[in-house]
A and B are shown apart, each in its own frame.
Chain A
């Protein structure tokens, strides 16, 4: 084993750019991922996510700029980078005709785990991902979720310092997805490694990530914690309907509440733009009962990461088959990963 080198940043890019002919897939991005954090890397299809991951995992060489992974430059020390990382790709890459255990054995050998440790490590990881009882079955008999668990297990078998998870739950049902989240949290707690995760599911990023970076058009648009991002979006929205025709002072008293910023009136329905909505709601009830106004419904909407995402990328995240800009996306993706 190599000596442990303490680095502050697990990933550090400086003015990193990659172009394919005239297309700038990644242009001049600089960001850091702290050691030990779960970093979410989000962006619409074709935004430059895959290109960035491929540079960080030494599969592509940048056109200009630098990228350091676990302290090593991907250009000058690719071998050291490869020794420091685990890479779990979006598609399942396990060999279907091999058993689960054989797949892990292959992974162990690819990553030069010393012979005398291989079996113990495989046993431990199989237990962690709860596949011990299926380890001798060919992977072709596994469900999608089991394959994904095996993929993830393969990526962390050699206990990399940085684990790249490229859309770990794409194509899985919601139960399986939640299960995978549990495993990701579990392995992060157990191995304390840095996790660099891409996803198209905002809920997933919200659930798992300490910090999130949003990339679009090859540029980093924002990096922050999910909480700060949502707060920065500002307003929460309270919608209100009521029975009474005559409202009296209701509207003016509502606008007296400190946290209420703006009220829209729309035939029998109020829309309040507020901050800290959960504190506003009790006050609304106090005012309404004093004025004997009967509220028929009330709802509080808080900004989601979806809103954050759309505000930075200007469009909702696109699936490959929505037809949106399909030709361009297709050409780009084909170039990147066929």
Chain B
């Protein structure tokens, strides 16, 4: 157990070192969520009465800002596993696989690094949101919000690591990831209240872990509970999702890297 933690930390350390040295990516990855929050946030400002009808006080942009924070987390973490493919192509993976560390620790180290990076990106988006005037009554909530983002991203990075370990090529990876990322975001109340979604969409959304993360973070930012889904239920579902993804990613990764690439 001790050595699993140590090995996970070793890979985590390496991933973060690599991230730190590729600074240009940090800003580029902020552009898209920044556009979302500025453009979509203002485009739909006319929907304010709808938002208010389900109990929100503020502007539409304040309603959707948590959604965009989660959007950032979704995409940072679901793209994050791509370097698994590079590692397999350029030999680092073989180096790690021929050393005594366990296979799961490679997957877990990558996932934990991705989730931390994801939280960093999300906190920058939160900063942008505050800068353009989103009202955030309780700044003390920042730490727990980031904790939720880290947790959620840990689960989502598992998807990325699974797809990267299974895919043999970049093309397959990006194909699958793009197929998964946007629908998971769209099929959630990130941009529109759950109660106002058509029934069938709301039903689908209830099977999506993104939904609970958005509801929870939005509750933490605005203080409004939506659709009768309590914070505790959301936390429970997110935790379960993360645990399942940790187990699944370890299993699939270990199985896939033992096959020839």
Contact residues of A with B, CB < 8 Å? 20, 54, 57-61, 79, 82-83, 85, 87, 89, 91-93, 95, 97-98, 102, 106-107, 109-112, 138, 154, 335-338
Shortest Cβ distance from A110 into B: residue:
B99
Given contacts A82-B99, A98-B17, 11 further A-B contacts (CB under 8 A): A57-B98, A59-B260, A82-B98, A82-B100, A98-B21, A106-B10, A106-B13, A107-B99, A109-B10, A335-B260, A338-B168
Flag if B90 contacts A112 (CB, 8 Å).
Answer: no
Distance (whole angstroms) from the CB of A331 to the closest CB of chain B = 13
* A112 cross-chain contacts in B, Cβ below 8 A: 3, 6, 100-101
Is A87 within 8 A of B17, CB to CB?
no
Q: How far is the CA of A85 from the CA of B96 in the complex (A)?
A: 12
CB contacts (< 8 Å) of A59 on chain B: these are 94, 97-98, 260
Contact A95 B17 (CB under 8 A): yes
Contact at A85–B98, with CB atoms within 8 Å? yes
Contact B21 A138 (CB under 8 A): yes
- Pair A110/B10 contact, Cβ less than 8 Å: yes
In the complex, whether B138 has a CB less than 8 A from a CB of chain A is: no
CB pair B18 A89 closer than 8 Å: no
A97 touches B22 (CB 8 A): yes
- B21-A97 in contact (CB<8A): yes
Kindly list chain B residues whose C-beta atoms are within 8 Å of the C-beta of A102: 17
Chain B residues with Cβ below 8 Å from A110 are: 7, 10, 95-96, 99-101
Decide if B95 touches A58 in the complex (CB within 8 Å). Answer: no
With A110-B10, A111-B100, A112-B3 in contact, do A93 and B91 touch (Cβ < 8 Å)? yes
**Cβ contacts under 8 Å, B44 to chain A:** none
Q: Are A106 and B21 in contact (CB under 8 A)?
A: no
Q: Is B29 an interface residue (CB 8 A)?
A: no
Point out the residues of chain A lying under 8 angstroms from B258, CB to CB.
61
Q: Would you give 15 A-B contacts (Cβ < 8 Å), ordered by A? A: A93-B95, A95-B92, A97-B17, A98-B14, A98-B21, A106-B13, A106-B14, A107-B95, A109-B13, A110-B95, A110-B96, A138-B21, A337-B261, A338-B88, A338-B261
Counting chain A CB atoms within 10 Å of each CB, the highest count among B7, B13, B98, B99 belongs to B98
| Interface contact B10-A91, CB-CB below 8 Å | no
CA A337 – CA B91 in complex, angstroms? 9
A89 touches B94 (CB 8 A): yes
List chain A residues, Cβ under 8 A from B88: 338
Q: Are B98 and A93 in contact (CB under 8 A)?
A: no
Contact across chains for B100 and A87 when beta carbons are under 8 A apart? no
B89 at the interface (CB under 8 A from A): yes
Contact A79 B10 (CB under 8 A): no
Which chain A residues border B101 with CB–CB below 8 Å? 110, 112
- With A335-B260, A338-B89, A338-B261 in contact, is A95–B98 under 8 Å at CB? no
Asked if residues A95 and B14 are in contact (CB atoms below 8 Å), the reply is yes
**A336 and B260: CB pair below 8 A?**
yes
A111 to B100, CA, bound (A): 6
Q: In the complex, which residues of chain A have a beta carbon less than 8 angstroms from the beta carbon of B91? A: 89, 91-93
With a cutoff of 8 Å between Cβ atoms, the chain A residues found around residue B14 in the complex are 95, 98, 106
User: CB distance A98 to B100 under 8 Å?
Assistant: no
Residue of A nearest to B85 (CB): A338
B100 touches A79 (CB 8 A): yes
| Chain A residues closer than 8 Å to B168, beta-carbon distance | 338
Q: Inside 8 A of B3's CB, which chain A residues have their CB? A: 112
Chain B contacts for A61, CB-based, 8 A: 258
Chain B residues with Cβ under 8 A from A20's Cβ? 260
Q: Is the CB of A93 within 8 A of B99?
A: no
Question: How far apart sit A97 and B95, CA to CA, in the bound complex (Å)?
Answer: 17
* A109→B6 CA distance, assembly (Å): 8
Cβ contact within 8 Å between A87 and B260: no
Contact A95 B95, CB 8 Å, known A110-B10, A112-B100: no
Cβ of B21 to closest chain A Cβ, rounded Å: 4
Q: CA of A336 to CA of B259 in the docked complex: distance in angstroms?
A: 10
Nearest-CB distance from B146 to chain A (Å)?
26
For residue B10, which residues in chain A have a CB less than 8 angstroms away from its CB? Answer: 106, 109-110
B3 closest partner in A (C-beta) = A112
The answer to whether B18 and A58 have CB atoms under 8 Å apart is no
Top 7 closest pairs, chain A to chain B, by CB: A97-B21, A93-B91, A110-B99, A109-B10, A87-B98, A82-B100, A57-B98
